Amino acid sequence: MDPWLECMDFGVAMTKEAGKMIRDALQREISVREKSSPVDLVTETDQKVEELIISSIREKFPTHSFIGEESVAAGAPSALTDGPTWIIDPIDGTTNFVHRFPFISVSIGFTVNRQIEFGIVFSCLENKMYTARRGRGAFCNGAPITVSGQQDITKSLILTEMGFKKDSEHFRAMMANMESILSIPVHGIRAPGSAAVNMCLVACGAADAYYHIGIHCWDMAGGAAILTEAGGVVMDITDQPRQQRRRRSPPELPV
């Protein structure tokens, strides 16, 4: 009997509710605030979706812990403990959401003893529900997905994200990384705007790798489970196994 299956099913149901809330919000005016910089946006919908998810899960599983993007922004602790923990990004791709640009997702990763047990990513506008339970494979809308299997870097499609960086060295490095990758040459680089969706695009073979410096744990947790179960690899950019909490060292995902 799978001890976490009930949690996963509940998580999927809440994610669908969250997706509906996001789609409804897209029909209305969206009020936007800036967080750490003019390009780090948050909306009321981010906060409402996170409250919905956390309050519903807390009611059903009162001993569980939470790491949510908006809760952390409001001062909640973000340390990962051994207990069952839900790691939540209520809207991954908030900038896309503000603009009504496709590639907006809800992302949930669930850990026990600091190991990811399942991941859920719902790409709301595409209506694609990605799920993976550790050891049981990865799925999109119930159909199994696998990575591309591409091993030739010159035939690969690479995903990343680019945005303004206040730190000029970080900015310089971001552009230099793109130049290195494009010069290999690869087939192309795409920047759709949602980290969780990017990981799922690699998981279903639509792209061959994703790299990102500056990603958060709530962007990675759900997608990492899905990508790993689809046969992919998630690693730190220093070529070490990825640790869930090392934001400084983000995941790189060669197939």
Contact positions vs other proteins (CB under 8 A): 37-39, 41, 95-96, 98-102, 126, 148, 154, 157, 162-164, 171, 175, 178-179, 182-183, 185-193, 201, 205-208
Q: Which one, 34 or 82, has the nearer CB to other proteins? A: 34
For residue 251, the cross-strand partners are: 236
Smallest gap, in angstroms, from Cβ of residue 12 to other proteins?
22
Smallest gap, in angstroms, from Cβ of residue 170 to other proteins?
12
Residue whose structure tokens are 């996170």:
50
Q: Which one, 37 or 81, has the nearer CB to other proteins? A: 37
Q: Which one, 6 or 167, has the nearer CB to other proteins? A: 167
Smallest gap, in angstroms, from Cβ of residue 144 to other proteins?
15
Interatomic CA distance for residues 220 and 245, integer angstroms: 10
CA dihedral (161, 90, 104, 135) in degrees, to 10, reads 80
Which residues are catalytic, by number? 69, 89, 91-92, 94, 219
Interatomic CA distance for residues 92 and 164, integer angstroms: 17
- Contact call for residues 60 and 10 (beta carbons, < 8 A): yes
Q: Which one, 61 or 101, has the nearer CB to other proteins? A: 101
Smallest gap, in angstroms, from Cβ of residue 211 to other proteins?
14
Interatomic CA distance for residues 15 and 120, integer angstroms: 8
Sign of CA dihedral 245, 53, 252, 174: negative
- Contact call for residues 60 and 210 (beta carbons, < 8 A): no
CA dihedral (223, 2, 17, 77) in degrees, to 10, reads -60
Smallest gap, in angstroms, from Cβ of residue 139 to other proteins?
17
In the chain, what is the greatest distance between 2 CA atoms, to the nearest angstrom? 52
Q: Which one, 48 or 190, has the nearer CB to other proteins? A: 190
